[in-house]
Amino acid sequence: MSRVRVVALVVGAIVVAFGVVLALNVDSGSPTTDGGFVGKRPDYSVRTLDGDLLASDELVGKTVVVNFWNTWCIPCIDEAPALDAFYEEHKDDPDLVFLGVVRDDTESAVTAYVTEYDVGWQIAMDPDSRTALSFGVTGQPETFVVGPDGVVAAEQRFRVSVEDLEAMVQAAGGGTS
Amino acid sequence: MRSALGYLAIAVGTAGSVLGIATLGAGLHLRRDSLLRAGRRYVGVVFVAAICAFAIMESALFAHDFSIKYVAGNVARATPGLYTFTAAWAALEGSILLWVLALTGYLAVTTWHFRARATDPLVAWATIVALGVTLFFFALMLGPANPFEELSRVPVDGTGPNPLLQNHPLVAFHPPMLYLGYVGFTIPFSFAVAALITGRFGEGWLADVRRTTLVAWAFLTVGIILGAWWSYEVLGWGGYWGWDPVENASLLPWLTGTAFIHSVMVQERRGMLRVWNISLVLATFCLTILGTFLTRSGVVESVHSFSESSIGPWLLAFLGVVALGCVALISWRADKLRSPGRIDSPVSREAAFLVNNLLFAGFALVVLTGTVFPLLAEAFQDRRLTVGEPYFERMGVPIGIALLFFMAVGPLLPWRATSGDVLRRRLLVPAWVGAITLVVLVVAGADGVAQVVAFSLGAFALTSIGRTVVIGIRARRRARAESVPVAAVRMVRGNTRLYGGLIVHVGVVLVAVALAASQGYVVKREVTLTEGESATVRGYTLTYLGTEIDRSPQKTTVKALVDVEGLGEYAPAISTFPNSRGGIGTPSVHTGFREDLYLTLISSPNETGTVTLGVQVNPMIVWLWIGGGVMVLGTIVALIPARRRSRVPVTSESPESPDSELVEAVEVAT
Amino acid sequence: MKRWVPWLALLAVVVVALGVLIARSGPSDSPEARARRLERELACPVCTGEALAESNAPEARAMKTDIRELIADGRSDAEITQIQVGRYGERILLNPEDSGIGLVAWGLPVVVLIGGAAGIVVALRRWSNQPRLTASAADEDVVREAREHDDA
């Protein structure tokens, strides 16, 4: 075999190995079930726009989907139909709680948005960012699923699809499809 | 409406690429010239499609059509016109659109240039390959990276561009120049693949792609220099290169591209280094795709990273197919790729170019290893590691010094072989100038080994370039009565490649000197001043005069007014933008030929009215920009067609020749 | 031999000057120089890949002050580095380590460059050992005949 061919094949092997290393690192975009905030126990207490009080210790036993968002972030707007579809599917499930927490926005803008787009699930403001802090949130949209044991089972630090939400809820072992 | 039209343009581009490939492929297979001619028309179709898609995007941006997700994410109503225009390439999908526009543009020009050779299989295959790449990028926009994707809910206002992208007009130049550089290398790549497929890997394809390679290289150089300038003048951290993965991604193809430009000369003269040259071109293109992958897939953390997207796996798959395809082609043609000829002597220009190739490849390997190492660590040991400047400097500086040395010596070495006399005559004086520079600097008390050695080698290189020019002018004036300037101009016009290259080398020396001085001898201080108070740093007396606040819908800027004695008033600032956290600092810079005075505002005035300023003195930075400009000037000169007189072949030198200088001048000129 | 004199003189001058330069340019051990060196080898904890030396973030400034205090306390460079790693993890180091997987980063380019250089030397030697084409007696005859034919 000519020397050039030998070198070419060696280079080919290196390219394949290199590709494997890169592929192992590529984020496939699916939710995280280990690492990040998963396994931690968030401690929060919020008042929804309707006046109800939701607190983490009182929600133990239920699967809680917590979605951090606001009215002006474009990926939030982008994932809104997915959130709608998921909520429609699961709104009658007594063991599933769906909570939207607003980051970095005004109450008037949020109320207007909720009215215009007929948002069905509970929305709470987070003016002093205490709730965001308890989840380690640094931007939006970020979605967490807390299992019945009160511990975060899955998280996604960018926009979610319906499949992502279903997978996250499955990971928490809660809710019925 | 716009969204549908834009998507239609992209679909037309995709279809056009497919049809072009199919038609040309059929023409080659059936040996039908009419099909080959028809296939070329699809190049025009895809070019027009790209232009339309880009124009529709711009119109959507200016019309604030927030039903389109890309527009909503990248402009706001308050965004000024220039930054609305540049928003077209501010984020991932738009950047792919710009890539496609540049690629189809290059392909259109190339196809027109080779119109007389429409039926040549080499040209046809090259067009097929280039259309294949075009097809990939158009298809990306049909699917995962659709710039015209719509939002189900139309927001009232968009978020506007990232603050870093609306801070300085340079954003209108730096990315497009870079893209014109990256994308340009697709053409030489296509011809190299065509050469392998058709078996015509002699010197023909090299001549075909020479111009495009130089143009692409020039744009890439400009893009990199502009990036460094942006980093320095706009970002305010006081430096111009951070060894950030995205910066490295632009440097990698530049390194292999430069090696290629040099190495082709050996193939043109002696027919040698065929495998090296083909490999360098293929590698350069693969590195541009690797760079695209690294910046858009999120595998490496970078200040440049585009936002989250699913485009990563597709780019990786494309890179894999291309890279393995190149390896397969070379392996297939391995037997025939052996070059005729051999290197006669270790002290010859061919040998110098061979070493040159090794050094550039080594440098590229250093940059690649440093960039990819964190991925290796994460994949195999689950550790998060960083690789920063100390690694690149420790590994790269010795290679840079070696390259400077060969740049000084190489152009003076004759082809094939030489004698001690010739070496002495050509090299001794410039080498002594370098040595004396070294001695003078050491005696003057300079420290820093790399810096002083770089300056000495720079002097060596400039002297050898000067010597070549002087000899050339003298030889002309002996043959005919011309004044010095006229002789100089005519001499350059007689061999634009050589003299253009020498001008580029002068630029490289300036850049090397600037890099050495600004890295080695920078002075950084922080001063905290109350209003009216002064401080002195390195001979500059600064007085804090007070603060000024500018408010506009786009941003709020806090400026600290500082009077620098003898130089006027300077105003480093911090700007805050709505819809994003954190402030963006803007430095205020006084540029001088010897050094820059660089002021930054570290903390805004607090309750007690004191302000903390960063003061940096950067030696010789302006020569980095000047050197870059000289490099581009040299490339432009090299692109001018030379006016050649009759060739006088001279291959060796004997001591009896009457005028060895004349002989050397003639050899250099042919 | 006389031809080599100017070259040898050149070499001698360069070696001496370089020697002085290298002796003079050794890394300084003053506290400020040590602090600067550490600042360039550690990353800013809240930035992406920026060195401590280049960052003005509050956490970075706090770390710079901390380093200077630790130097004043008499800690060594290695100890200071370890303390920061303990707080922020390995990603705070801008240099790959000297052992284990770090050897790949430091070693690979060096191995390739040395290997490539060796390859060039071998190739050059092989080429120069190949016999140059020389005319054989039969070739000379052919040429002489052709010339005579021309002259005739």
Domain segments of chain C as ranges: 28-92, 102-151
Residue B436 and residue B571 share a domain: no
Closest CA to B172 of B254, B262, B80: B80
What's the pLDDT score for residue C131?
64
Residue B623 confidence class, pLDDT cut points 50, 70, 90: very high
ipTM here: 0.83
Q: What is the pLDDT of residues B164-195, one digit of tens each?
A: 788 788 888 999 999 999 999 999 999 999 99
Domain count, chain B: 3
> Both tokens of residue B625?
């920009």
Mean pLDDT over residues A8-28, rounded? 85
- For B257-266, write each residue's pLDDT tens digit: 999 999 999 8
CA quadruple B200, B202, B203, B206: dihedral sign: positive
Look at C96 and B395 and tell me if their CB atoms are within 8 Å. Answer: no
Cis peptide before A141 (omega within 30 of 0): yes
CB of B73 within 8 Å of a chain A CB? The answer is yes
The whole-number pLDDT of residue B662 equals 62
Query: Does residue B1 belong to any structural domain of this protein?
Result: yes
> Where does the pLDDT of residue B648 fall: very low under 50, low under 70, confident under 90, or very high at 90 and above?
very low
Q: Please report the residues numbered 3 through 62 in chain C whose beta carbons come closer than 8 angstroms to any beta carbon of chain B.
A: 3, 6-7, 10, 13-14, 17-18, 20-22, 24-25, 40-41, 43, 48-51, 53-56
DSSP A21: H
On whether both B566 and B553 belong to a single domain, the answer is yes
Pick B331's closest partner by Cβ from A8, A21, A24: A8
- Is B434 in the same domain as B574? no
- Identify the domain boundary among B141, B166, B191: B166
Does a structural domain hold residue B71?
Answer: yes
* Chain B residues with CB-CB distance to C3 below 8 A: 420-421, 424
Residues C103-146 pLDDT 10s: 888 999 999 999 999 998 988 888 777 666 667 778 888 888 88
Per-residue model confidence (pLDDT) at position B83: 92
How confident is the model over B628-657, as a mean pLDDT?
A: 70
Helix and strand tally (H, E) in chain B?
20, 10
Residue B348 confidence (pLDDT) above 80: yes
* Chain C residues within an 8 Å CB radius of B581: none
Q: Give the model's pLDDT for residue B660.
A: 59
For A49, the 3-state DSSP assignment is coil
Per-residue pLDDT, averaged over C7-14, amounts to 91
**List of chain C residues whose C-beta atoms are within 8 Å of the C-beta of residue B388:** 43, 49, 51, 94-95
In terms of C-beta density within 10 A (0-12 exposed, 13-18 middle, 19 or more buried), how is residue B564 classed? middle
Secondary structure (3-state) at B649: coil
Task: Report pLDDT for C27.
Answer: 80
Average pLDDT over residues B298-314: 70
pLDDT band of residue B657 (cuts 50, 70, 90) is very low
pLDDT tier at B579, thresholds 50, 70, 90: low
pLDDT at residue A35 tops 50: yes
Chain-wide mean pLDDT for chain A? 86
Check A22 against B375: CB less than 8 A apart.
yes
Q: What does the alpha-carbon distance between residue B149 and residue B310 come to, in Å, rounded to a whole number?
A: 14
> What is residue C133's predicted lDDT score, i.e. its pLDDT?
66
In a domain, B24, yes or no: yes
Q: What is the pLDDT of residue B652?
A: 41
Closest-CA residue to B261 (of B208, B187, B206, B223): B206
- Residue B448 identity (one-letter amino acid): G
B76 plus B154 within the same structural domain: yes
Superfamily for A31-172? Answer: Glutaredoxin (3.40.30.10)
Question: Which CATH number is C28-92's, of 3.90.950.10, 3.40.50.670, 1.10.3720.10, 1.10.8.640?
Answer: 1.10.8.640
pLDDT at B622 over 90: yes
Q: Are residues B140 and B51 in the same domain?
A: yes
Domain assignment present for B417: no
Name the band, by pLDDT with cuts 50, 70 and 90, for residue B531.
confident
- Domain annotation covers residue B511: yes
| Contacting subunits of A (3+ beta carbon pairs below 8 A) | B
| Residue B48 and residue B146 in one domain | yes
Tokens of B35: 């099909």
Decide if A39 touches B, using CB distance below 8 A: no
Decide: B216 and B639 in contact? Cβ < 8 Å.
Answer: no
- Between C123 and C3, name the one with better pLDDT: C123
C-beta separation of B430 from B408 below 8 A: yes
Residue (of B374, B553, B535) closest to C104 by Cα position = B374
Domain of B61, in residue numbers: 1-166
Same domain (yes/no): B31, B161? yes
Give the tens place of pLDDT for each residue, A59-112. Answer: 888 999 999 998 888 888 889 999 999 999 888 888 899 999 998 888 888 999
Residue B301: the pLDDT is 65
Domain-terminating residue out of B603, B619, B635: B619
For residues B547 and B559, is the Cβ–Cβ distance under 8 A? Answer: yes
Closest residue, chain C, to B585 (C-alpha): C56
What does the pLDDT average to over A38-57? Answer: 87
